[in-house]
Amino acid sequence: MSIFAQHLIDAISVGGLFAMMALGIGLIFGIMRLINFAHGELVMIGAYAMWLMVALPTPLVIVLSIAVVIVLALGMERVAFRPLRQASPSTLLVASFAVSYFLQNLVQMTLGSRPKPFTFADQLTQSLPIGGFHLPLLQVVSMGLTIAVLVGIVLFLKRTTYGVLMRAAAQDFRMARLCGVRANTVIALSFAASAVLAWVVSLIYAAQTGQISPTMGLRPALIGFVATVVGGLGSLPGAAAGGFVVGVLTVVLQIVLPPELRDFRDAFLFALVLLVLLLRPRGLLAVKAEVERV
């Protein structure tokens, strides 16, 4: 029983992590038709910001590192993506790939390519005795944080005016603009929201793996991209669902694969994803607005 519960908690926390990743990517895709490759670098730089400021008081580190990630996200939008807003989706994709590569190598050039130990969230490595088995505090915190952030973002999107603007823009950007939604505001907002999601991922992911490196953003980003495709490109609930499904799948694969195949977990994961896409090329929750009308 306790093993099952442990697996269940694993599945939920990994699923939640990737749901946040996919939602961060999906928010921007919905509005700009941009798959932001540099989303993984937001995660990476968030972790590096916390690592650099580790000597400061904790609340200050949290506030400042969130600020760093938001500024970076707004900066990349302003410098790289705004001039390309009229360009085709594949041009935008290449541009974000270049931004990602630029940031990765910039960090490598200035701080070195070696992984660094991540000690900011050290207290979280203790375990919490609950109902007969030991629950790592980190998992409790990350699950709580994930749920809080996901609920928060859903409330923001559903209940606030800005949230409605963003959903409207995600559904049909041109129509939303014709109704008076300001393009720059809503795009900046979505980048900021996606940056906050990336920051939460960076905290949890870095604390879980215990180390940070310039390429640490790659794996979560890749899983996030794939998850948005699985969920159905352009749909926000789809992105979150896709992220969750893919996250749960990684945990299931980790459990069911025989030990000698465990190294290939990601290969199996992506192969499974391709299979899902063979059955449903538009993703689990296909969006009508994405089908080109003539």
Partner 1 sequence: MRRLVATIWPLAVLMLVICVIVAAAAAMAPSTQRVVTDGLLKLIVVVGAYIFIGNSGVLSFGHIGFMAIGAYTSAWLTIPPMTKKVLLPGLPDFLMQLHWGTVPATIAGGVAAMVVALVAGLPLMRLSGIAASIGTFAMLAIIQATFSNWTSMTGGQGSLFGLPASTDMYVAGAWGLVTLAVAYAYQCSRFGFRLRSSREEEVASRASGVDVPRERLVAFVISAFFVGVAGSLHAHFLGVVTANQYFLALTFITLAMLVIGGINSLSGAVTGVLVVSVLAELLRRVEGGFTVASWEVSALPGLREVGLALAMLLILVWRPRGLTDGREIGWPGALYGKFASKRKSRP
Footprint of partner 1 on this chain (CB under 8 A)?
A: 33, 35, 80, 83-84, 86-91, 93-95, 97-99, 101-102, 104-106, 108-109, 218, 222, 225-226, 228-229, 233, 263-264, 266-267, 270-271, 273-275, 277-278, 281-283, 290, 292, 294
Nearer to partner 1, 122 or 266 (CB): 266
Distance of closest approach, residue 183 Cβ to partner 1, in angstroms = 16
Look at residues 204, 236, 243 and name the one whose alpha carbon lies nearest to residue 221. Answer: 243
State the nearest-atom distance from the C-beta of 119 to partner 1, in Å. Answer: 25
CB of 225 to partner 1, least distance (A): 5
Q: Which is nearer to partner 1, 34 or 165 (CB)?
A: 34
| Of 81 and 118, CB closest to partner 1 | 81
| Alpha-carbon gap, residue 107 to 217, rounded angstroms | 12
If one counts every other C-beta atom within 10 angstroms of the C-beta of residue 162, the result is 14
Least Å from the CB of residue 220 to partner 1:
12
Residue 80: CB minimum distance to partner 1, A: 6
Rounded to whole angstroms, the Cα distance separating 21 from 18 reads 5
For partner 1, give the closer residue by CB, 93 or 252.
93
